[in-house]
Amino acid sequence: MPAPVNIIGKKYGYWTVIKRSKNINGRSTWVCECKCGNRKIVKLHDLRNGRSKSCGCLRKETTSKNFKTHNLTNHRLFSIWSCMKTRCYNPNATNYERYGARGIRICDEWLNDFMNFYNWSMGNGYKDDLTIDRINNDGNYESSNCRWATIEQQANNKRSYKGR
């Protein structure tokens, strides 16, 4: 019988191994503590091959790091996102009347995280000369109701909805 491995105290990414847990399908698992304090049972295999590096917070951190690296606050999408929030949620905004006051909202996914909005935009035809268009003019800002369109397309769209 091979000697049981002891990896207590070892570090794998953000994980520090705390103690052994019971085997799952004959494979050893270990209670690990993430740098952020979260604890989870992780398979030795996943620790060794690097599949598990943290409780999930490492990935989040990497995303926000990329966000800073690329300095996306200067990106056109960032101002689009900011203006969208203002006209939907700030009663003092000049165009609030046509948005927030009419009940137009932004889906939580976009509202809470600029990166979600950014990634959706990049994956859905964003270009510097396009603006965000709500397909149903009475609907919310959410992926199922938005597209990137030219000003002309938007004008057509508004007209076609008016008659309904």
Backbone angles phi, psi at 134, to 5 degrees: -85, 125
- Shortest distance, position 66 Cβ to Zn ion, whole Å: 18
Cα 108–chain centre separation: 10
* For Zn ion, the closer CB: 29 or 54: 54
CB nearer to Zn ion: give 41 or 151.
41
The contact set with Zn ion (CB under 5 A) reads 34, 36, 38, 54-55, 57
CB of 121: closest distance to Zn ion in angstroms? 28
Single-letter code of the amino acid located at 71: N
Nearer to Zn ion, 11 or 158 (CB): 11
Smallest separation, CB 56 to Zn ion (Å): 6
Rg value, the chain, Cα = 24
Strand partners, 15: 12
H helices of 21-113, in order, are 44-48, 57-69, 76-89, 108-112
Measured from the CB atom, the residue of 20 and 53 that comes closer to Zn ion is 53
60/147 with CB nearer Zn ion: 60
Spatial CB neighbours of 7, under 8 Å, sequence gap ≥ 6: 17, 30, 44, 47
| Smallest separation (angstroms) from Zn ion to the CB of 27 | 23
CA angle 76, 99, 74 (to 5 degrees): 15
Q: How far is the CB of 125 from Zn ion (least distance, A)?
A: 35
